Amino acid sequence: MIDVTNLTKTFDGKAVLGGISFRVEEGEVFGFLGPNGAGKTTTIRIILGLLAPTSGTARVWGSDLGREDALRRRVGVLLENNGLFARLSAHDNLRYYAGLYGVSNPGKRIRELLEYVDLAASADEPVGTFSTGMMRKLALARAIIHDPELLFLDEPTSGLDPEAQRLVRDLILELSREQNRTVFLNSHNLNEVQRVCTKVAILNAGRVRAYDSVEHLRASEKAPVYEITVADPATAERASSLVAALDGVRSSSVDGAVLTVSLDEAVGPRVLRELVLAGVDLAEARRVTRSLEDVYLGIVREEGAV
């Protein structure tokens, strides 16, 4: 659905994007991550046809959105600006956008959306009196008023309380799983991204540093890490020394009754067997799975961005 190939962008001689490439398939929830200044907003604006690239291409359904009015009607957008009119009511804001997109039966659609984002009671109030969270929820309703096939969300949960964040998360999952809609999500909420995204690209200093499914990124450790809890903390130091002496073990450290062991992939069962044979009683052993946040921070710190 989205095909970005060797995309570059230069402003005043400074390269903001350095030849990035990625694809977004139909029905995916795609997470686009990176620190401030990485080039995320520039990339999104080029894909939407709001900004011309210096070189390379960004195609949606095989075309340039900047030149295809009919295709733009199939896209919903929520960027950093909510795109709302402060003097109009919530209802009239949605009525205006429904008219732009030619929504059939707009009254019914507006009522459904206001109810969904929990703003039905405030439908006739001027948006200028709304809190930040209320405006963000109304902006989300605005972005999907025409039931788009492709939805771009830039920090959609910014300013929202936990309950409203869950509403947005549920909406994204419903659009993807039940309606086969495609969602392009830019967010600093990595826990949110881990929950809803099928694939992510991590952008840093204008280049894509990682691009894969969330599961593969979280599992892509050269040296798996295990936490082994011994039944008797008094045996932990001896257990750590035994483990550290085994072939394939890269490191072993102790914190109370817990050994943290870094080792080659196939060594885990042998480590546990050697500890049992040495008379060490074990309470628990588990592989430590990295979170998406761990992966992200590891990449941007390696690049010197954090």
Q: What is the pLDDT along the chain (306 residues), one digit of tens a residue?
A: 999 999 999 999 899 999 999 999 999 999 999 998 899 999 999 999 999 999 999 999 999 998 888 899 999 999 888 999 999 999 999 999 999 999 999 999 999 999 999 999 999 999 999 998 899 999 999 999 999 999 999 988 887 888 888 888 888 998 888 888 999 999 888 988 999 999 999 999 999 999 999 888 887 655 678 889 999 999 999 999 998 998 888 888 899 999 988 877 667 788 889 999 999 999 998 887 778 888 888 888 776 544
pLDDT of residue 109: 96
Predicted pLDDT of residue 248 = 84
Q: What pLDDT was estimated at residue 223?
A: 63
Domains of the chain: 2-219 (3.40.50.300), 225-289 (3.30.70.100)
Q: What is the pLDDT of residue 220?
A: 61
Give the residue among 248, 182, 209 at the shortest CA–CA distance from 22. Answer: 209
In this structure, what token pair is assigned to residue 292?
Answer: 């998406």
Degrees (nearest 5) of the Cα angle 284, 288, 291?
Answer: 145
DSSP E strand stretches across the chain:
2-11, 14-24, 29-33, 55-60, 75-78, 150-154, 182-186, 199-204, 207-213, 225-230, 249-255, 258-263, 282-287
Which 3 state secondary structure label does DSSP give 130?
Answer: coil
Please name which of 131, 137, 132, 101 lies closest in space to residue 118, comparing C-alpha atoms: 137
pLDDT of the residue at 306: 45
**What secondary structure, in 3-state letters, does 74-121 show?**
CEEEECCCCCCCCCCEHHHHHHHHHHHHCCCCHHHHHHHHHHHCCCHH
SS3 assignment, position 138: helix
Q: Is 256 helix (H, G, I), strand (E, B) or coil?
A: coil
pLDDT of residue 158: 80
Measure CA of the first residue to CA of the last residue in the chain; give whole Å.
33
